[in-house]
């Protein structure tokens, strides 16, 4: 069975005491084998089989279908997994980069060899090449080929993972197209623009200069309230009919090589004072950015952990911290405040 890399995210959430969906045990969604299943929030319809691979199981790592996995086929021959989730950062290139990193640097496929370059393609019924895909040749048995496709669906992502012990890379590429085509994609609303064309993330031209002396400050309730308010505002999707240029998402570059555990990304033009840590490949992020309550005399860098369900605001750093230092600090520190992505409530944590 192919699963996303969740160990780092789960460990971080457990260490901080965050009651997020990622900590919960997956629950099985019971659907008769001869019946289609429809995701309530997106309208995506999943048939009983894809490309000749029968549907086996549907699970949800949350309690309200915000992190759904669907299994198809046989892991001994050809197997597909469909992941449907609402990422903290809605960006196809970033999450394609994270999924591809699991393939290229993880243990499952060894030193897998990419076939060609990542290619952009349009969703069925669409025209914008807003999705990305690629096929790879694993370095060792039992797999002969594996492939990835990452597709946008409003504020949600659909990630397709397909691996086979019997198909060649070319055959698997064809089957990947069939899997995508046979999903029941909902019709796009006429007043909602298509997602923008996607291109693979490129390395940042110059690396960030972190300060090795950076330390986390004491908790500040005012900063916690402001951070939660900003996170709540950022989580609101653009209104239907809003001009595309007003709601156009940022384009990111990658700072450094990245690992299976995390990747560091910066909004272009490359920001020298902020970055985003994408944890593993399952949609959780950490945002590091200048604290709005700080000034030149007392600078600060706010830190927010963004899960599929909530945003958690932590004490700021006094200087721009290295990503590893941020990850380590969050395992030892409780958040100051948090806010849900679906409402207007803000919780202040007792310190």
Give tens-digit pLDDT for 247-283: 567 899 999 999 999 999 999 987 789 999 999 999 9
Tell me what pLDDT residue 257 has. 92
Q: Where in the chain are the domains?
A: 7-182, 202-348
Nearest alpha carbon to residue 301 among 292, 289, 293: 289
Tell me what pLDDT residue 243 has. 46
Q: Say whether the peptide bond before residue 100 is cis (omega within 30 degrees of 0).
A: no
Residue 325 and residue 214: Cα distance in Å, rounded?
8
Residue 104 and residue 54: Cα distance in Å, rounded?
28
Compute the Cα dihedral for 82, 85, 87, 92 and give only its sign.
positive
Tell me what pLDDT residue 199 has. 97
3-class SS of residue 15? helix
Residue 311 and residue 307: Cα distance in Å, rounded?
6
- The model's pTM: 0.91
Tell me what pLDDT residue 340 has. 87
* CATH architecture of the domain formed by 7-182: 3-Layer(aba) Sandwich (3.40)
The residues of the chain scoring below 50 in pLDDT are: 1-3, 5-6, 10, 19-22, 241, 243-246
């Amino acid at each position: 069975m192919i699963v996303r890399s969740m160990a780092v995210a789960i460990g971080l959430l457990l260490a901080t005491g965050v009651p997020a969906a990622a900590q919960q045990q997956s629950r099985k969604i019971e659907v008769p084998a001869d019946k289609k299943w429809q995701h309530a929030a997106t309208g995506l319809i999943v048939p009983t089989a894809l490309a000749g691979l029968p549907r086996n199981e549907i699970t949800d790592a949350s309690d309200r279908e915000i992190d759904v996995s669907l299994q198809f086929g046989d892991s001994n021959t050809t197997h597909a997994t469909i992941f449907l989730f609402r990422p903290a950062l809605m960006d196809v290139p970033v999450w394609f980069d994270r999924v591809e990193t699991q393939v290229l640097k993880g243990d499952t496929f060894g030193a897998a060899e990419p076939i060609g370059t990542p290619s952009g393609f349009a969703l069925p019924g669409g025209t914008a090449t807003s999705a990305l895909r690629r096929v790879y040749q694993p370095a060792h048995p039992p797999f002969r080929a594996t492939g990835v496709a990452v597709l946008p669906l409003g504020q949600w992502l659909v990630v397709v993972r397909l691996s086979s012990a019997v198909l060649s890379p070319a055959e698997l590429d064809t089957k990947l197209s069939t899997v995508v085509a046979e999903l029941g994609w909902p019709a796009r609303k006429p007043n909602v623009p298509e997602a923008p064309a996607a291109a693979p993330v490129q390395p940042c031209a110059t690396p960030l200069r972190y300060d090795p002396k950076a330390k986390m400050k004491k908790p500040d309730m005012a900063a916690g309230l402001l951070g939660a308010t900003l996170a709540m505002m950022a989580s609101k999707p653009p209104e239907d009919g809003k001009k595309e240029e007003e709601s156009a998402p940022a384009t990111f570059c990658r700072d450094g090589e990245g690992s299976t555990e995390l990747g560091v990304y910066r909004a272009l033009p490359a920001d020298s004072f902020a970055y985003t840590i994408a944890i593993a490949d399952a949609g959780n992020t950490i945002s590091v950015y200048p604290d709005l309550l700080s000034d030149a005399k007392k600078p600060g860098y706010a830190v927010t952990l963004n899960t599929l369900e909530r945003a958690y605001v932590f004490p700021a750093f006094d200087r721009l911290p290295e990503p590893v230092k941020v990850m380590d600090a969050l395992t030892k520190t409780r958040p100051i405040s948090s806010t849900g992505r679906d409402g207007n409530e803000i919780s202040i944590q007792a310190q």
